[in-house]
Structure 1
């Protein structure tokens, strides 16, 4: 009776894991479907040199492919327990790298937004390069040193020894630290601009708002997985793993599409102003700043358009509450 009860419990757990995986895939595909029109309009038409274009496509479809592979594996499509240690180790490495690459892609999107927000500042560029270099080194060293030491259950779940949890702690603290630095840099730059803005939806507000909720959502999954993994049963572990990739894809795509759609509305509203360049979602930085500097420098001092000698269209640019926002992102 005990064996039958354990077998029934194991079968029920496997079913629940499959349902979790299937639900995360269904949500991800649903999100792709409802935003596919925006993807075509705002992403496909971008220049092939735009890093945002490739980061968007990578985080969206790399996650879909990964989710489907993991779901097929949970169905026993590739193999069934007990699974040899060599296969478990290769599978765990592939799974961890898959997730790590998605996290790095999301961090790069955050970094590009920060770089644009600070108008391509040299010190920001150097700071971001330093942060990402440290991130890469920590991840690489952690994978190389710790993964060969792992032991696995029959279902390929690792961490049977307390010492092995060091890997999980490092892989939790590192992305959280990087993303915390990036969101703090965003808020430091955004809050003063938001206070001074008079427009209903300043672009920098969208950058700060989306960056904050994406940071919190991703951090919850990372922290929950990193610090509670050892006390969780099979179902919550699988739930976190399957939905984490979905959250990464969903968050990164929204970070890009929301800016693109707002920029498109701003461009449409200002089509009658020749001095506004076309706004695209590939985060072109400094265009308006450079244009304003050139016009102000070359404007004739005796221009009759305004009392102070500055043409009226230049004053309109300078007075626009969106100047700093659009030139930054």
Structure 2
């Protein structure tokens, strides 16, 4: 009974998330076509947006096909979940870093710092997830029973990365507002979006 209950919970959660993503994609498709698809094929923002938008959708579609019949299929399922999470966080962080890079007038020193930051924020969590997945023990319903390497430190890395990006955004926005003696709409928008992204990603990583 516990096996089927566990499967039902996972399936229902995936179906709910998939339904919401499909609905949201359909309702905003016209804006996506106008503002994203029309961009040049060389635009990094275009591809980052599309990968970020649809990698979660693909993850949810693929999840039920892993089944729940053995420790191997459970491990494949958890690797898929971790890989999808890491890919989405990395892509979102790259979008935020492009915004910060633009705020600092594409300064080469800032670009080098952001490249180093994204490497650290990707390699360390991915390595930790891989090690944890290889040693994780599962119940028949694929619930995690034991994990040798807790993933708490990964949430700390995500939080530190987002904090750095938020600080860089706030500092530049405040400096620009003071030097121009006015609050430009684009600066206010970038500051607002930067704060929303910070709370969303940090909140997600701490759940």
Shorter chain as denominator, the TM-score bin is 0.7 to 0.9
Aligned counterparts of 1:119 and 1:39: Cα–Cα separation in 2? 27
User: Larger Rg: 1 or 2?
Assistant: 1
Q: Which runs of 5+ in 1 are unaligned?
A: 1-6, 225-329
Q: 2:182 aligns to what? A: 197
Q: 2:155 aligns to what? A: 172
TM-score by length of 2: 0.87
- 1:15 Cα deviation (Å)? 4.2
For the 8 Å contact 2:100–2:169, the answer to whether it is kept is: yes
Aligned counterparts of 2:26 and 2:90: Cα–Cα separation in 1? 25
* 1:35 is the counterpart of 2:24: no
- The number of residues matched between the two structures is 205
1:301-326 per-position Cα deviation (integer Å, ceiling 9, x unaligned):
xxxxxxxxxxxxxxxxxxxxxxxxxx
Q: 2:122 aligns to what? A: 136
For the 8 Å contact 1:186–1:208, the answer to whether it is kept is: yes
For the 8 Å contact 1:187–1:208, the answer to whether it is kept is: yes
Q: Which runs of 5+ in 2 are unaligned?
A: none
Change (3 A) 1:118 1:101: same
Aligned counterparts of 1:152 and 1:97: Cα–Cα separation in 2? 18
- 1:11 Cα deviation (Å)? 5.3
**Structure 1 residue runs of 4 or more that deviate by more than 4 Å after TM superposition:** 9-17
TM-score by length of 1: 0.57
For the 8 Å contact 1:153–1:160, the answer to whether it is kept is: no
1:234-273 mapped onto 2 (5 Å cutoff): none
RMSD: 2.2
Q: Which of 139, 145, 167 is equivalent to 1:184?
A: 167
Aligned counterparts of 2:72 and 2:166: Cα–Cα separation in 1? 39
- Work out which structure has the larger RCO, using CA pairs closer than 8 Å and 6 or more positions apart in sequence: 1
1:235-261 per-position Cα deviation (integer Å, ceiling 9, x unaligned):
xxxxxxxxxxxxxxxxxxxxxxxxxxx
Q: Which of 77, 82, 85 is equivalent to 1:99?
A: 85
Which one has a larger percent helix, Structure 1 or Structure 2?
A: 2
Q: 1:299 aligns to what? A: none
